[in-house]
Structure 1
Amino acid sequence: MAHQTLAPLTEPVAATFADRHIGARPDDTATMLDELGLPSLDALADAAVPAGIRQAGPLDLPPALSETEVLARLREMAEKNAMRVQMIGQGYHGTVTPGVIQRNVLESPAWYTAYTPYQPEISQGRLEALLNFQTMVEDLTGLPVAGASLLDEATAVAEAVLLMRRVNKARAAGAVVLDADLLPQSIAVVRGRAEALGFDVVVADLAAGLPDGELTGVVIQQPGTSGRVWDASGVMAAAKERGAMVTVAADLLALTLITPPGEQGADVAVGSAQRFGVPLFYGGPHAAYMAVRKGLERSLPGRLVGVSRDSAGDPAYRLALQTREQHIRREKATSNICTAQALLAIVASMYAVYHGPEGLRAIAGHAHDAARTLATVLAGHGVELVHESWFDTLTARVPGRAGAVVAAAEAAGVNLRLVDADHVGVSCDETTTPAHLAAVAQAFGVAGAAARVDAAAAAVADGAAPEVLPAALARTSAYLTHPTFHAHRSETQMLRYLRRLADKDLALDRTMIPLGSCTMKLNATTEMQAMTWPEFASVHPFAPDSQTAGWRELIEDLERRLAVITGYDRVSVQPNAGSQGELAGLLAIRGYHRSRGEERRTVCLIPASAHGTNAASAVLAGMRVVVVATAADGTIDAADLRAKIAEHADDLAAIMITYPSTHGVYDGDVREVCDAVHAAGGQVYIDGANLNALVGLAQPGRFGGDVSHLNLHKTFCIPHGGGGPGVGPVAVREHLAPFLPADAAATGADGAPGALGVPVSASRYGSAGVLPISWAYVALMGAEGLTAATKSALLAANYVARRLDPYFPVLYTGASGLVAHECILDLRELTARTGVTAEDVAKRLIDFGFHAPTLAFPVAGTLMVEPTESEDLGEITRFVDAMIAIRAEIDQVAAGDLPVEASPLRLAPHTAAAIAAADWDRPYSREQAVFPLPGVRRDKYFPPVGRIDGAYGDRHLVCACPPVTDFEERA
């Protein structure tokens, strides 16, 4: 074959990671700037960002690294973590993530780049997976309603305590009693919430009975932290007789063998799904769960997936009831939870789907039998066990030598729990082997440990060893009976099931997701790689610091870089969601005022345009919300602000402002606002949700902020995962640093935090497992790349605003006529004139292959668009063209050519089944329905369901996998 000369490239190969992260090529940038009438990105930044807040020079960050260099650096840090067999327990256990789930969910962009399923028609795959999670939790706990995941076990316990106080109003003045055998981190987090809200918490040994006094609620751990399994039904009954509600913090795996909380009389069950295939991740992210008895479903915090029906009457899934209730109810919301741990809940649900009930029971049996084997060996050596009944965890009494036993085990490659000087905890799991047990036995001083373990294991297997679970607690009820948990046993079947669900959805791997305030941008493959490396993923959060040097180096370096970027002095990455970052920042402000003897400062000013979680978080921090009005141009109403400051000068704690504002504009007077609040003795909280419009251009810690939370799942590239994981670090100026979140596990024996700060997460570094993603992003971009990304985000948003303003007026712009990183398209006049709603536009966009912009927030009847810096001009143009085509259809309705009720807008989205129906009787063509623009033909996405009837789903709440006959009848 003759040698062929390659054609010359039309542009240079991208030289840096930043060139690949930013979607617009140089020619694209020039085209968009020309549309705006500006000569350069610098000119755009100068025109859009108020000069008074601009930072003086470039960010003081290390030079950008290449992708190869970043992976090498991550490998260096990973190798500084010591690999050990983790038998510490305390709420975290070794587990095996099936390869088919790790590769096709946890590491698949079809799953990890998906957004929260607020547009259910394009989210049926992830909603089905989350419904599986709810069904799994309901079956295992014996309670009829479960949510679609919370953040971690400690905060789930805190949410359960708050739920009991809300529901049990007649007893709200009573104390909440916590089991002394509750996870220490759960006790610490609950104490922190109780101190902020002013209610009493009592820690008691519930096996000895309930304490005296009026009770609101009781929380029991089953099995306990010490491993104890006991029949708590008597205590539950006694609590009910005294008017209290009961929560059980339960191990899901143990519930395959022991009586579930619902059958014992519990009102609420909470816990973690971590050991269902989710790696340890040095503490998170892990999906927590909550299940409740009938009648409490409307008090359930977080998200609930329900079954409704679509326009054809077919079953369809959606988020039900209180979805994003904090954005509607604000300071009256019952929880500030916004982000969930959806991706990890999906992993846990698929673990149950793959293994089925018999597989889960076998895994539980393995862990239990390993503990029985070890107990037999230790008892034979004269080691005293504290409890007679346990599931997978033993507590051994070794007076004066607990430290030596733990050290000997560590030297043999096994981590145990040092309870105190006299007690050692050992937890077994599905990864435990006879060799591990022999190493532990040898650490306790057992001679000939391997042979003794083999003999004890044989006795357990033969039934010769005594049973240790109380017969009265043996589970007899069935679980996971739905066909979903029986149909996917082979890897082939599982692979196809995961692919089938993923194909139902629209995620960032298929299309632009132009959601305002949610910053759906590139989650680069290089950033994602290290997350599942065993050296990072298999580390227990309570492993000794001597084993975690690499983790702490990465975290401390990320915290330093984030401090530089934001202009603050200190950062804590502990908050495992943006809402928890808000709470942590407000608790820091509260602690600061109290340290100065100013307990009276409890008023928090919040603009009407702020994120709804702001108000809910302020209430949880023990503050009183006072709303500041919005001016006609979308900025804070200066006159109302001055009046509110004057009215509350003596009791002003803080103001919470989002910058740029939730209306997508840079308020020019933000420094003046900060100065006025400071002059009155208050602190300034700047919500960092919109930091993607500031990085490299302005620093909130330098233009007046005292504290901000950041959203690593927005600005810093941790993917949304269908609704989580999220990370919401809190950044503060030096005077607030002592009040940053404390380590919940580093508490006294009574669970009281030992630092000035209040823990907001179960582990010291929250969802540490996803921090390598953000570290890699910042290291890859460097100061210049981060700044270029911000300018490109501004360019994309302003280009969209300029192109679409003639068709859908942009509601708010800044003094220069420009927006920040997002714009609000106002459809209210069109709706009044034609009846076509913003929701109609959102659903019609599905037929063009797009996820909708943010619907009806922060202004009802609008769409908020944020293209981000990652989209190229071709994709942005495709979106603009779709919106212009939709406006033409609205004009058809306005002209009377189409009735709105029978228009492609109101009947969108169009399924393949609808198009293929023989009786097409709509006043528009099939082609207009599914191929509204020529380019749609190239890569057509058909939604699996038509428009979903949300009201029907709320009136007929079904939140578990529906009977398969429901689908068979339709088929």
Structure 2
Amino acid sequence: MLLDAPGSFGADVVVGSMQRFGVPMGFGGPHAAYMATTEKFARRMPGRIIGETVEANDRKGRALRMAMQTREQHIRRDKATSNICTAQALLANMAAAYAVYHGPDGLAAIASRCHVLAATAAASLRASGYETTDPGFDAITVRVEDAADIAAKAASAGYNVRQFSPTEVGLSFGETISRKDLETLLEAAFGVDTLFSSSIPPPPTPARTNILKNHPVFNSHHSETQMLRYLRTLESKDLSLNHSMISLGSCTMKLNATVEMLPVTWPEFANIHPFAPADQTKGYVEMIEDVSSDLAKITGFHSVSVQPNSGASGEYAGLLAIREYQKSQNQSHRDVCLIPLSAHGTNPASAVMAGLRVVTVKSDENGNVDFSDFEEKAKKHKDELSAIMITYPSTYGVFEEAVADICRVAHENGGQVYMDGANLNAQCGLTNPFACGADVCHLNLHKTFCIPHGGGGPGVGAIGVAEHLTPHLPSHDVSPPSGGCGGPPVAAAPYGSAGILPITWTYIKLLGADGLARASAVAILNANYLAKRLENDYAVLFRGVNGQCAHEFIVDLRDYKKCGVSEEDVAKRLQDFGFHSPTMSWPVPGTLMIEPTESEDLAELDRFADAMIAIRQEIRDVETGEVQYDDSPLKYAPHTLLDISSDAWDRTYSREQAAFPIPGIRNNKFWPAVNRVDNVYGDRNLVCTCAPVSDYED
């Protein structure tokens, strides 16, 4: 806020943390980071890029959307650079809200105050004979006789300082530090009883001269009331679980109970620094060890690490543990990873990041791993086989019939078994990865164990491992976690996103062993109930030998393209019925994957089924020629309030059919904010979401 923008220095890539933008420390996380590049690197960017597009109708209204990288991990597989599940979207929104509320002037004032505090501390210490560094921005280093003694005196007064060496301590100043804090700290730790500042320090150079945050949103909402209304406006555009079921297959969008969420806001959890002295974090570590112990019992594994910050990070950490173990056994030459087509889409990219060569294994017509193809390739690569990655239940929504045999064959040929735990909510309490034969499994705590997705994050991709892999779990150079782990770290903090672990701890403790098993059973029951209700109207892909699915299932819409109807038409039309679309075109193009979870009751399941059946009738009308596709509500969905209230209505179907297609919607209508957008335009125009500065000159 005080320096010129880094891009003006000639930088090509800029990275940083948004923690200073109002996000609590949380004992290390969750935190949002950012990466910015010049335009020439835009197509190489990982993660989610929000671009600007237009509505696909004549109005061409402006709309914002995620650009093409969103699902590339399922398209490019081992060459993917992004994973939506690794984004820290909720934390990014917190940081954005902080910037919106304070605005450019408020942010600059906060930055100046931090700088002044550091300069005042330096001047006061120098006046008392201490040698300090100049405050580049908000921090100084002080040379002392005994750093440990200074740290102990500071701690007794309620403050932590950093010990850089036996004779150096560091002080850092944020916006929550008051003048009284500074006076108390300097007197208690350094014996300085008078604050001294010869002059207000100039801002760091080069000072910011370029126009900053000209967008109206950063200059309009600086009272609590206005901020409340702005956030409420944004909320009204989100179709979330507080409105209806979110049936995204593979994402497990379940209820996040308020009682589970409350501890995250407690200062005792929120305001702890990741490198706080161990005697100040005993309760936190006890909670982490408790939840890790519970997760170990649930998975059957010997040990669990909660350091990975997402499922994809958990995959990477699990594969690193395997590679480190094999290295310790003088088998570092093993570098082949067998990955079935039915595996989770992030698996190939994670394997490549871990230095492995990916060999793809076929799937059979029922969605299982093609066992003969797997066995053949395992034997072919037995001398260099490092691991197999398998998802159980599979991404196709069925329990792998031969999972135990697959694990056995992998071990017989010298490999380790990595199980993707994205679908653990169909196992939890009923079976476990270790019983199936796996050596390591990551757990999406933001799926099975109730941490909210937050639009893509925060997440925790904890990994459970068998005993022989325990020594190779992630460690940390600054503050090693307990348990004697010695593997390379995969996160900046020892316990990753520790600040949201109270959610999982509470979820497990409230349900207990019987409750966890019942949750899995009800999730499987709900999926099979919906599949049964829809099977007369839609083709259901990939069922097990008993004719049942696991916790999710896939409906096939590919045949409808003969009459012009696509899976996107069904996804958009569901918005008119008040539902978020299921997962579209993955893992099979032209399909919808539906996962109701255990959180939904019979009434909501039936409401969703009624919507899907009503949409099937609209498709049938197009198939029979009773309605032309170009005259069908399927083509123009979703319908906004502006559509319905407009004086012009030239559609062949009624406004009522467009907005209220079945009974019951009138009392709880969700209005989409925009019409269907032009996807091609959005992918070709990765433009800044801010309008040009010239728009604001008046």
TM-score computed with the length of structure 1 as normaliser: 0.70
1:299 aligns with 2:44: yes
User: Which residue is equivalent to 2:242?
Assistant: 509
**Structure 2 counterparts to residues 215-294 of structure 1, below 5 A:** 256-294=1-39
AA paired with 1:434?
R
1:650 aligns with 2:360: no
User: Which residue is equivalent to 1:829?
Assistant: 559
Give the secondary structure class of the aligned counterpart of 2:546: coil
**Structure 2 counterparts to residues 681-696 of structure 1, below 5 A:** 681-696=414-429
Give the secondary structure class of the aligned counterpart of 1:710: strand
**Structure 2 counterparts to residues 712-723 of structure 1, below 5 A:** 712-723=445-456
User: Which residue is equivalent to 1:215?
Assistant: none
Deviation digits for residues 747-773 of structure 1, max 9, x if unmatched? 8xxxxxx96301111101111111000
- Alpha-carbon distance between aligned partners in 2 of 1:915 and 1:967, rounded to the nearest angstrom: 32
- Alpha-carbon distance between aligned partners in 1 of 2:688 and 2:470, rounded to the nearest angstrom: 43
- Alpha-carbon distance between aligned partners in 1 of 2:622 and 2:200, rounded to the nearest angstrom: 77
AA paired with 2:492?
A
Deviation digits for residues 451-500 of structure 1, max 9, x if unmatched? x12xx2xx4xxxx4263655x42222221111111111111111100001
**Contact 1:402-1:423 at 8 Å conserved across structures:** yes
Inter-CA distance 468–613: structure 2 relative to 1 (3 Å threshold): same
- Alpha-carbon distance between aligned partners in 1 of 2:271 and 2:323, rounded to the nearest angstrom: 36
RMSD after superposition? 1.7
AA paired with 1:396?
V
Shift of 1:260: 2.5
Shift of 1:335: 4.4
User: Which residue is equivalent to 1:383?
Assistant: 130
**Structure 2 counterparts to residues 733-882 of structure 1, below 5 A:** 733-746=466-479, 756-831=486-561, 833-882=562-611
- Alpha-carbon distance between aligned partners in 2 of 1:701 and 1:356, rounded to the nearest angstrom: 52
User: Which residue is equivalent to 1:331?
Assistant: 78
**Contact 2:417-2:437 at 8 Å conserved across structures:** yes
Shift of 1:444: 4.2
Give the share of equivalent positions with the same residue, in percent.
56
User: Which residue is equivalent to 1:479?
Assistant: 212
Inter-CA distance 403–264: structure 2 relative to 1 (3 Å threshold): same
Give the secondary structure class of the aligned counterpart of 1:807: coil
Give the secondary structure class of the aligned counterpart of 1:622: coil
Shift of 1:324: 2.4
Give the secondary structure class of the aligned counterpart of 1:535: helix
- Alpha-carbon distance between aligned partners in 2 of 1:791 and 1:664, rounded to the nearest angstrom: 14
Shift of 1:967: 12
Deviation digits for residues 778-825 of structure 1, max 9, x if unmatched? 000001111111110011000000110111111010010000000000
User: Which residue is equivalent to 1:465?
Assistant: 199
TM-score computed with the length of structure 2 as normaliser: 0.97
- Alpha-carbon distance between aligned partners in 2 of 1:948 and 1:744, rounded to the nearest angstrom: 47
- Runs of 5+ unmatched residues, structure 2: none
User: Which residue is equivalent to 1:955?
Assistant: 684
Among 329, 336, 339, the residue aligned to 1:606: 339
**Structure 2 counterparts to residues 702-713 of structure 1, below 5 A:** 702-713=435-446
Deviation digits for residues 421-440 of structure 1, max 9, x if unmatched? 11101000101112221233
Q: Which has the higher contact order (CA 8 A, sep 6+)?
A: 1
**Contact 2:568-2:584 at 8 Å conserved across structures:** yes
Give the secondary structure class of the aligned counterpart of 2:635: coil
User: Which residue is equivalent to 1:226?
Assistant: none
Deviation digits for residues 87-112 of structure 1, max 9, x if unmatched? xxxxxxxxxxxxxxxxxxxxxxxxxx
- Alpha-carbon distance between aligned partners in 2 of 1:887 and 1:502, rounded to the nearest angstrom: 30
**Structure 2 counterparts to residues 586-601 of structure 1, below 5 A:** 586-601=319-334
- Alpha-carbon distance between aligned partners in 2 of 1:419 and 1:965, rounded to the nearest angstrom: 48
- Alpha-carbon distance between aligned partners in 2 of 1:403 and 1:540, rounded to the nearest angstrom: 18
User: Which residue is equivalent to 1:438?
Assistant: 183
AA paired with 1:265?
G
Deviation digits for residues 605-639 of structure 1, max 9, x if unmatched? 00012112111100100111110011111100111
Residues matched between the structures, number: 693
- Alpha-carbon distance between aligned partners in 2 of 1:299 and 1:397, rounded to the nearest angstrom: 44
**Contact 2:54-2:62 at 8 Å conserved across structures:** yes
Among 194, 206, 230, the residue aligned to 1:497: 230
**Contact 2:475-2:494 at 8 Å conserved across structures:** yes
User: Which residue is equivalent to 1:177?
Assistant: none
- Alpha-carbon distance between aligned partners in 1 of 2:137 and 2:439, rounded to the nearest angstrom: 48
Shift of 1:744: 4.3
Among 278, 282, 288, the residue aligned to 1:555: 288
AA paired with 2:219?
H
User: Which residue is equivalent to 1:943?
Assistant: 672
Deviation digits for residues 535-568 of structure 1, max 9, x if unmatched? 1111111001100111011100000000000010
AA paired with 1:467?
P
**Contact 1:744-1:761 at 8 Å conserved across structures:** no
- Alpha-carbon distance between aligned partners in 2 of 1:390 and 1:659, rounded to the nearest angstrom: 52
Shift of 1:834: 1.8
**Contact 2:84-2:456 at 8 Å conserved across structures:** no
AA paired with 1:570?
S
Deviation digits for residues 503-531 of structure 1, max 9, x if unmatched? 11100111100111110111001001111
- Runs of 5+ unmatched residues, structure 1: 1-255, 748-753
**Contact 1:744-1:763 at 8 Å conserved across structures:** no
Moved more, 364-373 or 473-482: 473-482
User: Which residue is equivalent to 1:30?
Assistant: none
**Contact 1:744-1:762 at 8 Å conserved across structures:** no
1:397 aligns with 2:164: no
Among 407, 413, 418, the residue aligned to 1:680: 413
**Contact 2:70-2:83 at 8 Å conserved across structures:** no
Among 133, 152, 170, the residue aligned to 1:425: 170
User: Which residue is equivalent to 1:928?
Assistant: 657
Shift of 1:936: 1.2
**Structure 2 counterparts to residues 520-531 of structure 1, below 5 A:** 520-531=253-264
AA paired with 1:394?
I
Give the secondary structure class of the aligned counterpart of 1:612: coil
- Alpha-carbon distance between aligned partners in 2 of 1:582 and 1:603, rounded to the nearest angstrom: 15
Give the secondary structure class of the aligned counterpart of 1:394: strand
Give the secondary structure class of the aligned counterpart of 2:541: coil
Moved more, 256-265 or 547-556: 256-265
Inter-CA distance 434–919: structure 2 relative to 1 (3 Å threshold): closer
- Alpha-carbon distance between aligned partners in 2 of 1:587 and 1:902, rounded to the nearest angstrom: 55
- Alpha-carbon distance between aligned partners in 1 of 2:187 and 2:409, rounded to the nearest angstrom: 66
Inter-CA distance 389–527: structure 2 relative to 1 (3 Å threshold): closer
Deviation digits for residues 284-328 of structure 1, max 9, x if unmatched? 101111111121111111000111011330000100131221111
- Alpha-carbon distance between aligned partners in 1 of 2:83 and 2:236, rounded to the nearest angstrom: 32
**Contact 1:357-1:479 at 8 Å conserved across structures:** yes
Inter-CA distance 335–847: structure 2 relative to 1 (3 Å threshold): closer
- Alpha-carbon distance between aligned partners in 1 of 2:477 and 2:495, rounded to the nearest angstrom: 10
